[in-house]
Amino acid sequence: MARVVIGLSGGVDSSVAAYLLQQQGHEVVGLFMVNWHDTTGTLEGDCPWHDDRLFAELVARRLDIPLHVVDLSEHYRRRVVEYMFAEYERGRTPNPDVLCNREIKFDVFLKEALKLGADYVATGHYCRKREEPTADGRTAYRLLAGSDPGKDQSYFLCQLSQEQLRYALFPVGEMLKTEVRRIAQEQQLATARRKDSQGICFVGKVDLPLFLQQRLAARTGNVHEIKAAWPRYARTAPETATETASAATPAAAPETASAPAQAAAPPQPGDQPSTERLAALAAPWRYTVRDGKKIGTHSGAHFYTVGQRKGLGIGGRRESLFVLATDVQENVIYVGEGDAHPGLWRPALRIDPAEVHWIDPSEAMREGESRRYAVRIRYRQPLQQATLYRRREGLFILFDTPQRGIAAGQFAAWYDGEVLAGSGTIAE
């Protein structure tokens, strides 16, 4: 059997993963990462990782496996947190958990595990890996959704490479969360009843504006309301690449895979809309202060994201206000009333050429090619049916049903059945 280094995080999933590996006969070594020391903006505990380390030690002792500790905080600060600050400063919405997996857990951590003689590295992620021989004699590594539909975490691993997957093991990927809890209780693991971690990877739950103020200064600006009757929403076709969805965009569309009655018909096989048309459909709504009325103030446009409801501090409405767009240059937030507001919905998005990532590069789309995939633009979003178009300007994703709250900086991930085929950062 193999020597497997597992990232013991102090949570129940990695604890049970370690136990399962041990039961399979592997030589299991625990490795605990310290990735963040600063508690500025955190909502729970002075030093949350201290508690995590204690639980990891208790589990290692119970399973009688060695536990090593490595401080990766400088790598984490430089490769994840600095990226996060830079993205928010640009008015984009990053996903630090995806970056943490690509840059830390399956890169820096992997290298530390190899120093300990690891044949494989294991984590407690709810996803699966499959190995397939290819016609050219190599082995292709497939990333599959976890068996528990309520806990599938494959989205967070959407940026992994073939080399990273080669070393990866996901022992709980075939299991339901309830099974994991049951095993933890039966084996009397200290983490059996511990709550799942929340918030930013290795930082925890934070007051985001307060956390970001470590680098981004608060700056008072205006909140402008855009009415649902804004004339440009009613146009039947965009006139420029800065205007988007046609009148086929519904006033409300549930975030499910079933298309509402007003949704545009899905593309037919062989359909090849012009690049100009795709660019227009993928472009975000653009507003100026003349398009809406000032209804309040805020503390900094870079603290808000498209689709956000909480934190606006403006009441007295029949329905909640939602962020439609932010302008960090002018420090203005544009909002609309109700989650059926047309400004929240878009039929398409674009990914810059350099940001398109394929789990297996041999499956990459060629320029001019189109394919059907199921896509999600955020964790736990039900998969959405879409057509992907590869053009010189990038990868366009045209959804069968317009999507709510598409935010620049987030990751779109596309699936072929249960296999996660690729992903990319949403351009705008």
Catalytic residues: 100, 201
Amino acid at site 10: G
**Measured between alpha carbons, how far is 58 from 10 in angstroms, rounded to an integer?**
9
Placement of tokens 């903006």 in the chain: 41
Mode of pairing for the β-strands spanning 168-169 and 120-122: parallel
Q: What angle do CA 240, 245, 247 make, to 5 degrees?
A: 115
Placement of tokens 């075939």 in the chain: 174
Q: Compute φ and ψ for 353, nearest 5 degrees.
A: -50, -40
Radius of gyration of the chain (CA): 23
Query: Could you please report the per-residue DSSP string of 301-358?
Result: GGG--TT--TT------SS-EEEEEEETTTTEEEEEESTT-GGGEEEEEEEEEEEEEE
Angle between helices 48-63 and 12-23 (to 10 degrees): 20
**Spatial CA neighbour of 306 closest among 336, 276, 263, 269:** 336
Placement of tokens 């439609």 in the chain: 324
Spatial contact of 167 and 12, defined as CB atoms under 8 Å apart: no
Query: Could you please report the per-residue DSSP string of 355-389?
Result: EEEESSGGGPPPTT-EEEEEEESSTTPPPEEEEEE
Amino acid at site 311: G
User: Residues with Cβ < 8 Å from 316, sequence gap 6 or more?
Assistant: none
Alpha carbon 252 to its chain's center: 24
